[in-house]
Amino acid sequence: MTVSKNTDYQNTLFIGGSGLLNGACDVKNTKLKNLMILTDGVTIENAIFDTPGYGIYCKGSCTLKNIYYKKLCYHAVGLAYTDTSKSYTYKVIGGAGQGSADKYFTQSGKGTTIIQNFCGEGKYGKLWCSCGNCGFQAKRSVEVYNTVMKGPGQSVVSVNLNYGDTVLFSGLTLYGQSSSSTATKYACQNVNALTYVAQLYAASSFKPTESGTGSCTYKASSIKIAN
């Protein structure tokens, strides 16, 4: 479904059916479809998504307010673009997730993602990722404010070192760090991005107790280890 105007869904539950999934709700299923496509500039709020295929797809700037994600098949939201010359702003305000088979939020458009007051608990790959093997590459930035995560997780964010990405953490709290079964391994990973699909490897990774460098430049004091 395509959404072209601001919409309050009043806590409607959206469940991906067989026509959307085309098989299993699984990250390896290449026949998944997006449950919802947002046109540039749209705000949606107060909705719950369960088995949403490829999830939400923003075709430009979008605001997601109090959106909750139950079982995800791939990622929750693709933050994309319609014009490669334009910078976009993507906002995630509130909301929560119960884990993600891949990333919660993947940005392929140029511009900035702002994640504020989000809560994630359960196995996840990354909270946010700057697309590392998209055909279009440009500088991207992420700002994470007052957000709580509990894993197990690979990394809170990953950024493209060779395109000058930036990251800002303020009030990020990580729970479950005392156990490998619930810990987030890294706060940030630098990646050298490609413009074609291939296996990517982190150029450098920073644990939650470490300050980062490169595109991962931030102070360790901006991350709170709760337990």
Distance CA 101, CA 122 (A): 10
Mean predicted lDDT score pLDDT of the chain? 97
Q: How confident is the model at residue 101 (pLDDT cuts 50, 70, 90)?
A: confident
Residue pair 48/86 in contact by the 8 Å Cβ criterion = no
Q: How confident is the model at residue 197 (pLDDT cuts 50, 70, 90)?
A: confident
Nearest to 148 by CA among 181, 111, 122: 122
Distance CA 150, CA 120 (A): 6
Residue 221 three-state SS: helix
Q: Indicate whether 199 pLDDT > 90.
A: no
Structural tokens at position 27: 């990250």
Which pLDDT score is estimated for 115? 99
Q: Indicate whether 134 pLDDT > 90.
A: yes
Q: Indicate whether 189 pLDDT > 90.
A: yes
Which pLDDT score is estimated for 227? 86
Which pLDDT score is estimated for 13? 98
**Which residue(s) pair with 8 in the sheet?**
45
Domain boundaries, the chain: 2-225
Query: What confidence tens digit (pLDDT) does each residue in 142-162 have?
Result: 999 999 999 999 999 999 999
Nearest to 185 by CA among 163, 214, 205: 205
* Superfamily for domain range 2-225: Single-stranded right-handed beta-helix, Pectin lyase-like (2.160.20.10)
Q: How confident is the model at residue 198 (pLDDT cuts 50, 70, 90)?
A: confident
Nearest to 102 by CA among 80, 84, 134, 77: 77
Distance CA 68, CA 55 (A): 11
Which pLDDT score is estimated for 71? 95
Query: What confidence tens digit (pLDDT) does each residue in 42-77 have?
Result: 999 999 999 999 999 999 999 999 999 999 999 999
